Amino acid sequence: MGFLSAIFGRSTDSVKLSELLLQKPFLVDVRTPAEFSSGSAKGAVNIPLDQIPAKIARFKGKSRVVVFCRSGNRSGQAKALLEKAGISHVTNGGSLGNVISAQRI
């Protein structure tokens, strides 16, 4: 599992994620609008993966960013895009379920 986490950048430590969520990061659901409308994590905004490059300005000035999706794959891609654009302090929260669980801790 560590190998897959390294590839996809998944967060495997929900305690660390829950501590990060206490810092009120910019919480971004990178799933499609249809997926987002079916429910998301509390406080999350929807910026689908394919819109990340056009919406980099929304990330500028944020001290912490957490991205997540259905499985952690798209959020891993979003993290890479953001870092390539110079946005630092980006965490791949992994799946929606992972983020919701971390919010409950």
- Per domain, the residue ranges of the chain are 2-104
Exposed, middle or buried, 96 (CB in 10 Å: 0-12/13-18/19+)?
buried
Percent of the chain with pLDDT over 90: 83
Q: What pLDDT band is residue 105 in, cutting at 50, 70 and 90?
A: confident
In percent, the amount of the chain with pLDDT more than 70 equals: 86
Give the CA distances from residue 34 to residues 41, 45, 82, 100, in Å, rounded to whole numbers and listed in that order.
15, 13, 23, 18
CATH architecture of 2-104: 3-Layer(aba) Sandwich (3.40)
- The catalytic site residues sit at 69
Q: What is the pLDDT of residue 5?
A: 44
Residue 15 is predicted with a pLDDT of 63
Q: What angle do CA 84, 11, 99 make, to 5 degrees?
A: 105
Query: Count of H helices and E strands in the chain?
Result: 5, 4
